[in-house]
């Protein structure tokens, strides 16, 4: 008998050692199942996606430290700009990438014979040894 089975041959949870329940918690026609399903659907419909929530918050207004009302997106943009100007390179990268100036990594793929690759490697290694 394996360590994940009890004497009745029911699998046990590796987390708490308790037998894993068998079957469904509700039987067909059980009114509790209908109620549980309605509650689950209502909760899912009520919950917004993270994207929807953030867009709603960004479009709203907030009051800054000086008591002025500004749009949340403007306040956030000002804060990240201030960070970038103070030397925070991650903040700079976020701004650069957001405005579309992220450098593009280009990779070239080509069919090259192994002898050509060996010649190039030898030339590079020889150059390193000669101080180039």
Closest by Cα among 95, 58, 62 to 73: 58
126 alpha-carbon distance from chain centroid = 44
pLDDT-derived band at 6, boundaries 50, 70, 90: very low
Mean pLDDT of all residues belonging to the chain: 82
Region 91-111 average pLDDT: 85
Contact yes or no for 79/65 (Cβ under 8 A)? no
Kindly list the distances between the CA atom of residue 132 and the CA atoms of 28, 120, 126, in Å, as whole numbers in the listed order.
Answer: 79, 15, 9
Candidate ranges 12-26, 37-51, 54-68; pick with highest mean pLDDT: 54-68
Kindly list the distances between the CA atom of residue 34 and the CA atoms of 6, 47, 86, in Å, as whole numbers in the listed order.
Answer: 33, 20, 58
Query: Residue 19: what are its φ and ψ, rounded to 5°?
Result: -60, 140
**Predicted TM-score (pTM) of this structure:** 0.42
Q: Work out the percent of the chain whose per-residue pLDDT is above 90.
A: 23
Contact yes or no for 95/80 (Cβ under 8 A)? yes
């Amino acid at each position: 008998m394996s360590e994940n089975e009890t004497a009745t041959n029911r699998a046990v949870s590796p987390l708490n050692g308790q037998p894993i329940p068998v079957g469904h918690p509700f039987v067909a026609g059980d009114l509790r199942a209908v109620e549980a399903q309605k509650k689950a659907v209502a909760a899912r419909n009520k919950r917004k996606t993270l994207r929807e929530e953030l867009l709603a918050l960004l479009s709203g207004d907030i009051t800054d430290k000086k008591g002025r009302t500004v749009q949340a997106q403007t306040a956030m943009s000002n804060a990240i700009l201030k960070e970038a100007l103070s030397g925070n390179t991650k903040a700079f990268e976020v701004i650069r990438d957001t405005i579309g100036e992220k450098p593009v990594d280009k990779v070239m793929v080509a069919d090259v014979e192994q002898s050509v690759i060996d010649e190039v490697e030898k030339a590079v290694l020889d150059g390193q040894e000669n101080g180039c």
